[in-house]
Amino acid sequence: MKSLVCMKVAPKVDQIKFDEVKKTIVREGVENEINEADKNALEAALSLKETHGGTVTVISMGPPSFEPYLRLAVSMGADDAILLSDRAFAAADTFATSRVLAQAIKKVGLFDLVFCGEASSDGSTEQVPSSIAEWLGVPQITYANNIKIEDSKVVGRRVITGGYEIIESQLPVLVSVELGANTPRFPDFRRKRWADKEFKLTVWNIQDLGLNPNDVGLLGSYTIVKELKSLPAPARKGEFVTGSPQEIAKKLAQVIKASA
């Protein structure tokens, strides 16, 4: 089973800020972390490897400062890690991001599964996984949890309103993993030492991927952020209901009836 995991490094959720003038996410001077859903994607890939064998390779597009996060993924159990890094890739929207990731996946060669998280914590468009599947021409199972291989098919479960769906696909397939679908493992501390000091990270730039500068980064992006708006959280209506249990029940029944 050859799995690839697309792993985004994003600003820590409580540090996400926007540059009102440039209309971009502020990436300087903030602490980063592995996107939470991508840890679930990595865990799904590692669990399948434990059962069915094979390899897990992590791929991330971002600046050289993301290197430690790829090493962290290796210390969690990934066999290999590739950083896609080039100034030309900067300020990419989902179209350009998915194009670069798909090109890297094609360069890796034959694969069985591509895993993504269901969404990033910063851009959070949820468009990259489906877009990668389209670039690669493979089927997709999105928002999946409980991913299994049965009779050479991938079976994923996904929650829908009022129940769940079971989706089956032949390999190769792209799977986007639901946030919280599993409990990501901790890094193995002996492996961490090796991952930090000896593991040789692969870094590919635009030439390595054979891409045209007009097709990547800002130049290859179709999305323009025209306006940024902060929306205040809706005010919460709260009311304390007091009295005896019978009085409280009566008042609650009135409130429920009035809002029904």
Ligand X SMILES: Cc1cc2nc3c(=O)[nH]c(=O)nc-3n(C[C@H](O)[C@H](O)[C@H](O)COP(=O)(O)OP(=O)(O)OC[C@H]3O[C@@H](n4cnc5c(N)ncnc54)[C@H](O)[C@@H]3O)c2cc1C
Query: Which residues in this chain contact ligand X in the complex, by CB under 6 A?
Result: 6-8, 23-25, 35, 37-38, 41, 60-62, 90-94, 97, 101, 116-117, 119-120, 122-129, 225
- 31 vs 150, beta carbon nearer ligand X: 31
Which lies closer to ligand X via its Cβ, residue 124 or residue 254?
124
User: What span, in angstroms and rounded, lies between the C-alpha atoms of 118 and 189?
Assistant: 28
**Cβ proximity to ligand X, 62 vs 184, nearer residue:** 62
Q: How far is the CB of 250 from ligand X (least distance, A)?
A: 47
Contact 40, 182 (CB under 8 A): yes
CB of 246 to ligand X, least distance (A): 50
Give least dist CB 36 to ligand X, A. Answer: 9
Considering only CA atoms, which of 96, 100, 90, 94 is closest in space to residue 129?
94
Q: Which residue is nearest to ligand X (CB)?
A: 123
The SS3 of residue 105 is helix
Provide the minimum distance between the beta carbon of 249 and ligand X in the complex, in angstroms, as a whole number: 45
Count how many Cα atoms sit within 13 Å of the Cα of residue 145 in the half-sphere of its side chain.
12
Question: CA-CA distance, 31 to 9, in Å (whole number)?
Answer: 10
Instruction: Identify the CA nearest to 157 among candidates 168, 146, 149.
Output: 146
User: Measured from the CB atom, is 118 or 238 closer to ligand X?
Assistant: 118
